[in-house]
Structure 1
Amino acid sequence: MDQLSAMRVFVRVVELGNFTRAAQALNMPKTTVTNLVQSLEAHLSTRLLNRTTRRVVVTTDGALYYERATQILAELDELDGSLSHAQAQPTGRLRVEMSSAFADRIVLPGICDFHSRYPQIQLDIGIGDRLVDYMAENVDCALRGGTPTDQSLVTRKVGELKLRCYASPLYLSFHGMPDHPRDLATTHYCVGYLNAPSGRVWQMDFKRGDEVHEIDPRYIISVNDHRTYVSAGLSGIGVIQSTSFFVRDALAAGDLVPVLEDWECETIPLYIVYPGTRHISNKVRVFVDWIVKRLQQMDAPDAEEPALCLAKTA
């Protein structure tokens, strides 16, 4: 048995859910795929998959084997790539974690540009601000707002998010315009942004000259996702803090308007983080460089998305 080939076939079967689709994706006869998985199970003396007429179900041992196999195959692909032409043209799967706001407003609007530059990279995006076990989940890197506190992670600052306060015309029609940041803790309402690990709502920071205020916002609801946070602000339930390119469309349509404009709000650093135990791959490197350029483009006042199409693949 070619154990490496069997391992690759097993991983593909798990990802696609049955032998037929895996055989088609691998351009192999279905019998070959079946025989390789059976040989792998015999070699390991354990059942990795439970078969039914419609699908395959991964066993407990199979799930553990899949987790380690994907890591091994990714590292092997990266090793091969570092010693071949793939160094100039990175290849393979890149697993990135980020919030929905970063995906919606930074990455996805320019994804055709990324694909045209690096057509051999398959990008897997996980959405959320949760704590990630990078090694166990085979995550290559994450795009995060705020200064990372985990000392085991390698960090690279890729930009900053300058916050401003906004409210919907509906909210202002009921509550009026706040005159001072203190109003957001007393007579006005905000949308709370929940820090999921701590269970606490983030403070709002304001500065004007030598005057500085840290406000615990008065809120009716709090959320832990920026897309939902902006949607709540649009509903008229409270004042929000966001960066301009996250709410650009709403501002242009008049669905949000700036408030407390003579006050400076907090600036949130934006980082790419990845585990210190893992060598930074060429895939991660080109993705980070691309993110930096994307942020520079989006920061331009009259920024427009490039009209790009998906590159043709063989």
Structure 2
Amino acid sequence: MCGQFGCYLLPDKLAKLGLTIYRIQIIKVYQIAMDRILAMQVFSRIVELGAFGKAADSLGLPRATVTQMIKQLESHLGVQLLQRTTRQVRATLDGQAYYQRCVHLLADIEEAESFFSQTRNNPQGQLRIDLPASLGHRVIIPAMTQFCARYPKIELIVGSTDRPVDLVREGVDCVVRAGQIHDLGLVARPLAQLPQITCASAEYLSRFGTPQGIAELVGHRAVNYASALNGRVFPFEFQVDGKLLEIAQPGTVTVNNAEAYVAACEAGLGIIQAPYYHLHDQLANGSMVEILSQHRPPAMPLTALYPPHRQLSRRVRVWVDWLVELFSADQWAMTHEN
């Protein structure tokens, strides 16, 4: 309505206008909060992957957008978060402190969302895992249909390697590893103890004879296994009278991959020590023969590992729980007859 001194709004009109302005303000606040969370995610990925481009690709964002978001975030905080060179991007001291807070905040947000939404019982999204090559191919991957049927909205991105994986830098959520764990900064969930045996090919034993005791290993050759981390060759291990005996057995072939290790043994190149699951078929058909069964090696621990900031992730949690279930199931042949 317009009067002598201009137009004015009736109370009901004014109330509606005020409500509209309030809603707009709420939307703006919400958008700012969501932008801030996205900026934290972008910053965290850059720190973890060490490059703007890799972070943009992993999040499905244009690289220019990622660069602009970091500039705005640094401007908002009033500090430099990243040091950029032609080869690498590193967090500054302020950036390292901010990264640690982001990791915890983002984990809390994900946990809160999963708790109050349907994803608690039906988690969804991508889960990046890495498996030992032989164990993955023979045991875990063939059983994955069970996991996928139970959690159809989880997309598994599977790596299959025997090398050490930098979970944070490579963006991997969880790895499964056999052997002793050296990275104490990761959360470790024991899965199983893998029985091991000493064996050789039937052809090798027909040529060089079958040792009946450890002393008779003199003159025999080994296929040696070297660490992919530092190149250290692992000695043979035997349990003798409740004590562990280590022997560095000479060999003409050294490998750093489980598949190559067994293949070299099958080819008659020497004696190996390996988990029983990897040799089950060869032992059954007679191409490989166990030796020194009275002094079997200690069992090899199998462990699921994930970064501390992933321990609240529902996707990681159900994956690790499924692994525990898989390796405790009776149908999986973890042992053999003495």
Matched, 1:118 2:121: no
AA aligned opposite 1:241: Q
SS at match of 1:201: coil
Candidates 207, 225, 230, aligned match of 1:174: 207
Considering fraction of residues, name the structure with more helix.
2
Once the two structures are TM-superposed, the CA of residue 236 in structure 1 deviates from its matched residue by 0.9
Cα shift at 1:142: 1.5
The structure 2 residue matched to 1:94, chosen from 127, 137, 140, is 127
Residue 296 of structure 1 is aligned with which of 319, 328, 333?
Answer: 328
Number of aligned residue pairs: give it.
267
1:275 aligned to 2:307?
Answer: yes
After TM superposition, the score normalised by the length of structure 2 is: 0.66
Q: Confirm or deny: 8 A CA contact 1:99 1:225 kept in the other structure.
A: no
Q: Indicate which of 235, 240, 253 corresponds to 1:221.
A: 253
Residue of structure 2 in register with 1:103 after alignment: 136
Q: Residue 172 of structure 2: SS of its match in structure 1?
A: coil
Question: Which residue, out of 169, 173, 178, partners 1:145?
Answer: 178
Contact 2:187/2:311 (8 A) holds in 1: no
* Counterpart residue type for residue 132 of structure 1: V
**Aligned with 2:194 (options 150, 158, 161):** 161
What do you get for the CA RMSD once the two structures are aligned? 3.7
1:285 deviation in Å? 1.6
Distance in 2, Cα, partners of 1:91 & 1:39:
26
User: CA 1:155/1:301 → structure 2, altered by over 3 Å: closer, same or farther?
Assistant: closer
Deviations 1:60-109 (A, max 9, x none): 89x99xxx9xx99x956665334311111121111122221221122111
The 1:37–1:263 alpha-carbon spacing in structure 2 relative to 1, beyond 3 Å, is: closer
Residue number in structure 2 paired with 1:258: 290
- Sort the Cα spacing of 1:15 and 1:198 in 2 relative to 1 into closer, same or farther, 3 A: closer
Q: Residues 115-163 of structure 1, C-alpha deviation per residue, up to 9 Å, x if partnerless? A: 1111111112223233333222222121111231222122121110111
In our comparison, the structure showing a higher alpha carbon Rg is 2
State the Cα deviation string for residues 244-291 of structure 1 (Å, max 9, x = none). 221112222222111112222121111112223443322122111211
Moved beyond 4 Å, runs of 4+: 1-5, 10-13, 36-45, 74-79
- What is the alpha-carbon distance in structure 1 between the residues aligned to residue 243 and residue 187 of structure 2? 35
**CA deviation map 1:197-249 (0-9, x unaligned):** 23221122112435652111221111111111111111110111122221112
- 1:195 alignment partner, SS class: coil
Equivalent-residue separation in structure 2 for 1:152 and 1:251 (angstroms): 39
Post-superposition shift, 1:41? 6.4
The 1-side partners of 2:181 and 2:334 are apart by 27
Alpha-carbon separation, structure 2, partners of 1:237 and 1:87: 52
Q: How far apart in 1 are the matches of 2:197 and 2:250?
A: 17
Question: Which residue of 247, 256, 272 corresponds with 1:240?
Answer: 272
Instruction: Check the 8 A contact 1:193/1:223 in 2, yes or no.
Output: yes
Q: Which runs of 5+ in 2 are unaligned?
A: 1-30, 43-52, 72-85, 91-98
